[in-house]
Amino acid sequence: MDLHLQPDWQRTLGQFVEIRRYGKTVRSGTVEAVMPDNSILWISAAGPFSREMIERAEDFEVFTRYPWDAPPTLT
């Protein structure tokens, strides 16, 4: 699965993403909310991990799958 840098954080709402900082993965999860100006997003709580706020100003980057990279679904 190839992940791609997504500079428009609004497009990640509801998507599974990987958060990276300085090239290293620091968190992955589902985007629960995004500020209108793309400055902050929240990753939903999952398992032992609590909800987390991610700030663009802190040099975080969001990587996601493009729709055409998604595995085919069985109907």
Domains along the chain? Answer: 4-65 (2.30.30)
Q: Is the pLDDT of residue 68 over 70?
A: no
Q: Could you read off the pLDDT of 6-64 as tens digits, one per residue?
A: 999 999 999 999 999 999 999 999 999 999 999 999 999 988 989 999 999 999 999 99
- Listed in sequence order, the residues at least 6 apart from 35 whose beta carbon sits closer than 8 Å to its beta carbon are 41
Question: What pLDDT score does 52 carry?
Answer: 96
Q: What is the DSSP string of 5-64?
A: E-S-GGGGTTSEEEEEETTEEEEEEEEEEE-TTSSEEEEPPBTTBPPEEEEGGGTEEEEE
pTM strictly above 0.85: no
For residues 18 and 10, the answer to whether their CB atoms sit within 8 Å is: no
